[in-house]
Each structure stands twice: as structure tokens, then as C-alpha cells.
Amino acid sequence: MLAAIARLLAAASSGLIVAGCATQVDFAPVPGQPALRVQQRLLLTPSNGGLRITPEDLRPGDIVLSSTHSVVSMGVRLITLAPVSHAALYLGDGTFVEAVGAGVRTRSTQEYMDGESTIVAFRHPGIAEPQVDALNAFSRLHVGKKYNTAGIVLQAPFSIGRQYCELPLIPGLVRDFCIRGLAAVQLGALKNDRFFCSQFVLEAYRHARLPLTTADPRLISPADLLHMREGDVPSVRTEQALLYVGHLKSGPVAVEAEVASRQPD
């Protein structure tokens, strides 16, 4: 078994290095599943096996990742090598909460659908009414707070530098340690009560005592949340894989490259 995995790694390594994707080796693979998993930089779409959903399919607490055709969104996607650039929470009753340049705000379902070009939802399998109540309380407390501009400015060079930690065949624990260590140096220790989009999602879930990861929320991007989905390879250690719920909206197939992925039951 180990010899077979070694041959697989040797055959795949050159292509993976060029791709620059994090990997995970399973030394006891499930029959029919690959021993070497590669981080999915692309996005499942309804045209290749993904699920088309409507806002009525959302549940309070769902994590919604999205992108637009704006220059800012394209820049974030380019830096993080991911098809999403924004993260928000669905609170229920047709309300989304998010941290944007104007600060933490809520948007109606219609406003959110009109404003984004791609919208995909994920769900924590352990979410229940007490956690939903805590997410709502956290959101009400912080609506109107200012945007973490300093944090997002530091994210750009950090997102580029951390790619060295995510080279193929680097063990997950080493990758996690490398990213967290680099964050401690580049992002510093200074914290405030401001948020950028993915940081807000992480802090809300932490407040609800359902942390997605023990990593500093300031180092987590929408791309990191995407890779926390079930079947993917997360860049940092996660407490619980997220379930893919489906797409409320998807861009052109030419823009959203297609890959296969397992849907939740």
C-alpha cells in the first residue's frame, strides 16, 4: 500500500507543484476514493453535478460565498486562486448579514441576489436553534460596526506569501503551522472590533460556540471557507467540514470552471 502511494505521489508531484495546490494523503484510503487528494481550486456548478437551489432552501446559519464581476472581486479571486471573493451569513427571514466596505450591514434576499453574480451556500451540520440564536445576537450587536480596512490590506501580501506553505505534498500539520506562523508575523497581534467579510463569519460562529477552526479569523479568507467543504483539502485545520447546500446563482460555465464533487445526502 505504501509503495503504491509513493508511486502515485511521484507521478503527480510535478504537475501539482505547477498548480500550487495543497494536498492531503490518506494512507488508508476508502475503496474507490483517491489516496492523494488535491485542494479544489475550482467550483462545482449546477451544470456539472451541482445543485440549483432557491432562497427557500436556505436555513438560518448557512454560510454563503459569492463573487461579482467587479474589479475588486476579480482581484481577490486572483490573489487567493479561488472562484469566490465574499462571505456572508444567512440569518433567516430573508436576511443576510455581511461585513463590507461600508461596515457590517444586513441585506434582503432580493438585494443579495441582485448584487452577486455567483452565490453558493454551505451548512455546518451541527447548527441548531441555540447556535442560530447566538449568530443573530452577535449580528445585531455588530451591525453598523466599521470595516476592518487594515486587516484586509494586510491580507493581500499574506495571501501571496502563504502559498509557499501550501505547496503540494507538504503535510497538513506542517502546512497549518506554517500558515499560522506566517500570519503571526505578517498580520501582527493588534486586534480591534472591526471585521472583514470572512472574519465576521468566523467570529460569529466562534461566538455561537461552534468554531469552524481554531485559527485566527483574521487569516481566513472566503477561499479558506470554500476549502472547508466536505471532500476538499482545507488549508488550516478545521473543526468540522461544511456541507454543500447548492447554488442560488452561478456565473457562466466559462468563468466557473467545472469539477466533480460529492453532494451531501
pLDDT in tens, 120-166: 999 999 999 999 999 999 999 999 999 999 999 998 899 989 989 98
pLDDT score of 14: 37
The single residue of 124, 142, 197, 227 carrying the catalytic annotation is 197
Q: What is the secondary structure of 205-237 as a DSSP string?
A: HHHTT--S-SS-GGG--HHHHHHTBTTS--SS-
2 pLDDT higher than 90: no
Please state the φ and ψ torsions of residue 229, each to the nearest 5 degrees. -70, 155
Residue 37, pLDDT above cutoff 70: no
Q: How confident is the model at residue 259 (pLDDT cuts 50, 70, 90)?
A: very low
235 CB-near residues (< 8 Å, 6+ apart): 22, 39, 162, 165, 166, 175, 176, 179, 224, 227
Instruction: Indicate whether this model's pTM tops 0.75.
Output: yes
The crossing angle, in degrees rounded to 10, of helices 71-80 and 149-161 is 40
Evaluate if residue 256 carries a pLDDT over 90: no
Q: Catalytic: 197?
A: yes
What pLDDT was estimated at residue 57?
A: 97
Residues 195-204 as b/e (b if ≥16 CB within 10 A, e otherwise) read bbbbbbbbbb
Residue 242 pLDDT > 70, yes or no? yes
Confidence (pLDDT) at 19: 44
Nearest to 67 by CA among 81, 78, 83, 52: 83
The whole-number pLDDT of residue 195 equals: 95
165 has catalytic annotation? no
pLDDT at 260: 35
Across the chain, mean pLDDT equals 83
The pLDDT value recorded for residue 41 is: 63
| CB neighbourhood size of 265 (10 A) | 4
- pLDDT-based confidence at residue 35 (cuts at 50, 70, 90): low
- Given this model, what pLDDT does residue 25 score? 56
What pLDDT is stored for residue 18 in this prediction? 39
Percent of the chain with pLDDT over 90: 61
Of 124, 142, 227, 247, which is the active-site residue? 247
Give the HSE-up count for residue 215: Cα atoms under 13 Å, Cβ half-sphere: 30
